[in-house]
Amino acid sequence: MALNKLYLMSWMLFLTQIGVSCELKSEVQSTQVKKRFGKKGLKKRKAPVKKVRATIKHKKILEKSSEHYEGKSQSPIDLGNAFKVDLTDIKFRYEPSLFAIKNTGHSIQLDSKSKKSYIVVDGMKYRLIQFHFHTPSEHTVNNRSCAMEIHFVHQNEKGNLAVIGVLAQEGAHNKFYQSFLKTIPKKEGAVIELSEPLNLLKLFPKDKRFFRYNGSLTTEPFTEGVKWIVIKQPIQLAKIQIDSLIHVHGKNARAIQSRNHRPVLFDTTINAPSSN
Ligand SMILES: [Zn+2]
């Protein structure tokens, strides 16, 4: 095998190492690695790789990916093989606010009453309009899925969407999640107004390094042009907390869609701020 080909394959394998500690959905990928390289080949993945800073070029890659693949930029996707770059952090301007919790039949959704919370992505302000839940997670990382994924849906003045995905795995009981879990309406179409404001940053992990790509809504009408930000570090919820949601709306994750050569970027920033 030519040396440059081997180097390229090692590089590609290194990129697949960005993972989350959720359930392994498929062993296919790791089996293929062993077949191709044996034990020696696996060690090659640890070769030092030069990190690159996000440049205008990287930003253009993201922009182009939504233009070039119209009709083929669907979500969710597997986030493996991400390019590691130092992206500009997402600025969180969330404040405790009131929500109305509703059972849509497909999901449990909490609509913002004030719409005062927002994020800043690529220098643009996107207001939080609602958040909802998927069981199991819709996005996977190297074919690993998590028990749940929470989608925080934001919209800018032009009506464009930026969605943040927070993954959740089985683990410790989450007190904050429990505070509104008890109010979940069991009947389809039912809405309950929460009387206490929620500080949603409590539903985010401390480490907010994230994946970025351009995709679509994962429910009808599957509109494209959605900026996706999926945080790599999962939060923890007790099994009973996850099961109680499955009990209400069943499993509601859309199947993984074809990536169609769309690039996925992974932010390498170590100390991502929580609310700055
Ligand atoms: Zn969703």
Domain residues for the domain of 20 are: 3-46
Please name the residues in contact with 229: beta carbons below 8 A apart, sequence gap of 6 or more: 90, 121, 162, 163, 164, 165, 210, 211, 212
Considering only CA atoms, which of 250, 102, 101, 105 is closest in space to residue 188? 105
- Say whether both 26 and 124 belong to one domain: no
pLDDT at 168 over 80: yes
Look up residue 227 and give its DSSP letter: E
Using CA atoms, how far apart are residues 237 and 147, in angstroms rounded to an integer? 9
pLDDT digits (tens, 9 = 90+) for 212-258: 999 999 999 999 999 999 999 999 999 999 999 999 989 999 999 99
pLDDT digits (tens, 9 = 90+) for 63-105: 655 544 457 899 999 999 999 999 888 999 999 999 999 999 9
- Say whether both 121 and 232 belong to one domain: yes
- Say whether both 145 and 8 belong to one domain: no
- Say whether both 85 and 179 belong to one domain: yes
Domain-embedded: residue 273:
no
Using CA atoms, how far apart are residues 55 and 107, in angstroms rounded to an integer? 38
- Say whether both 99 and 39 belong to one domain: no
CA of 263 to the centre of ligand 1 (A): 21
CA of 109 to the centre of ligand 1 (A): 9
In this structure, what CATH number is given to the domain that contains residue 179?
3.10.200.10
What pTM did the predictor assign? 0.78
- Say whether both 224 and 200 belong to one domain: yes
- Residues recognised as catalytic: 106
CA-based radius of gyration for the chain: 19
Q: How many domains does the chain have?
A: 2
- Say whether both 23 and 84 belong to one domain: no
CA of 47 to the centre of ligand 1 (A): 37
Name the least confident of 12-16, 143-147, 150-154, 261-265: 12-16
CA of 167 to the centre of ligand 1 (A): 12
- Say whether both 36 and 66 belong to one domain: no
Please name the residues in contact with 186: beta carbons below 8 A apart, sequence gap of 6 or more: 103, 248
Domain-embedded: residue 272:
no
Segment 196-203 shows an average pLDDT of 94
- Say whether both 122 and 197 belong to one domain: yes
CA of 146 to the centre of ligand 1 (A): 14
